[in-house]
Amino acid sequence: MYTQALNTSDADDRNVEDAARAAAFQARIDVDERIEPNDWMPAAYRKTLTRQISQHAHSEIVGMLPEGNWITRAPTLRRKAALLAKVQDECGHGLYLYAAAETLGTSREELVDAMLAGKAKYSSIFNYPTLTWADIGTIGWLVDGAAIMNQIPLCRCSYGPYARAMIRVCKEESFHQRQGFEIMLMLCRGTDEQKAMAQDALNRWWWPVLMMFGPPDKVSQHSDTSTKWKIKRFSNDELRQKFVDATVPQAQFLGLTIPDPEMKQDEAGYWVPGPIDWEEFKQVLAGNGPCNRDRLAARRKAHDEGAWVRAAAAAYAEKRKRRQFAQAAE
Amino acid sequence: MATPNSPLWEVFIRSRNGLAHKHVGSLHAADATLALQAARDIYTRRGEGLSIWVVPSSAITASDPAEKGMMFEPAESKIYRHPTFYDVPEEVGHM
């Protein structure tokens, strides 16, 4: 489950709203009331959440691809069963999230079509390839770890259906991170070659994972609105810092080196990373990452190849309905 | 070509015998049989349930949140409907 850089909102739309209703809405949020689907909400709140939740859902679904890549090649039956269960969970998470997004008034089909048309974003992290088995360990340990950091505060998000979906997701996500860490631990306690494989995976994933938290606070746009609406409860940099502080000791335990020679611990004990290459982040978001085209092509292929199944199920349901009506009429 | 919409279903799960079915979420499926199968895959991957209900979302009639004052306020002012409203001397014991 993976969110990132979703703290953009449509503050401009708010001026056209009824001021009294908008004030009442904000008052409900301020006292931590949950907003439910049929409640009045500003158009910009609806739009921001539809975008954020659907991007989150797309990320879950696209996130199945890099990991699915290793299901048939998992080193043992135990690992294969665990990976299969994890990928299945990602699919489930995508579906909970589409269901939450739909309550805002856009159908799942429309949301999926927007993603397939390349009009909707998903987390940039899934545009990186999974080259070795150690990548599967690293994704569980770091990508899911970062996702958990992002998602725990979302369990208290002001929009009820999103918060409830996040609670389910967070419960399931902790298995993902632990199985990833276990893979890394096995590799790090293995041969020199295995340990080198773990280090290589960490080297490739570390920076993209830090980018998952989105642009630094000083350039992040519209974050204020999402904070005011209690969609976002911590800033990108705060969450990134929490993640780094939690992860450094875990890497030390594994005996791996974080690929950041400039990282140091400050006097208060926080680990301060070196500068992040935001140009790379921009490029991947713009569609120029290593796997952007592959991922979209794989999603489109799956969708197209499933078209006859959807059509057959709909035709069968229609036929049964007609037969029932005919019987009732007799 | 736009993907055609499929019907939406609300899913209710009974987690243990003796407990009521509880709403857990929704899903899309062409018919009731497929909805039940999808509900099993989506909502009970970790043994969450002993029984599932699926209901077409269109079959649900909901109260209007804008009228919640009219709907629920009358109950709030009737504190005499609660047992704690009545004083029973301590000597009487548990009642």
Length of chain A: 330
Length of chain B: 95
pLDDT, chain A, mean? 92
Provide, as residue numbers in chain A, all residues whose Cβ is less than 8 Å from the Cβ of B6. 109, 310, 313-314
**pLDDT greater than 70 at residue B50:** yes
CB-based contact, B34 to chain A, within 8 Å:
yes
Closest chain B C-alpha to A169 CA, distance in angstroms? 11
Q: A156-182 pLDDT, tens per residue?
A: 999 999 999 999 999 898 899 999 999
Closest chain A C-alpha to B80 CA, distance in angstroms? 27
Please tell me which of the candidates A38, A40, A164 has its beta carbon nearest to residue B62. Answer: A38
From the CB of residue B77, how many other CB atoms can be counted at a distance below 10 Å?
A: 8
Q: Which pLDDT belongs to residue A102?
A: 94
Q: Which pLDDT belongs to residue B5?
A: 86
Dihedral angle over CA of A141, A147, A152, A153, nearest 10: 140
Q: Which pLDDT belongs to residue B65?
A: 80
How many CA atoms lie less than 13 Å away from A229 in the CB half-sphere? 27
Residue of chain B nearest A94, judged by CA positions: B42
Question: CA–CA separation, A262 vs A243, rounded Å?
Answer: 17
Cβ burial, residue B54 (10 Å; 0-12/13-18/19+)? buried
Percentage helix, strand, coil, to 5, in chain A? 70, 0, 30
Q: A184-202 pLDDT, tens per residue?
A: 999 999 999 999 999 999 9
Provide, as residue numbers in chain B, all residues whose Cβ is less than 8 Å from the Cβ of A109. 2-6
Question: CA–CA separation, A7 vs A4, rounded Å?
Answer: 8
Partners of residue B27 on adjacent β-strands: B9
Please tell me which of the candidates B3, B8, B31 has its beta carbon nearest to residue A317. Answer: B31
Closest chain B C-alpha to A48 CA, distance in angstroms? 22
Q: Which amino acid makes up residue A16?
A: V
Q: Which amino acid makes up residue A197?
A: M
Confidence of residue A154 (pLDDT cuts 50, 70, 90): very high
Cβ burial, residue A89 (10 Å; 0-12/13-18/19+)? buried
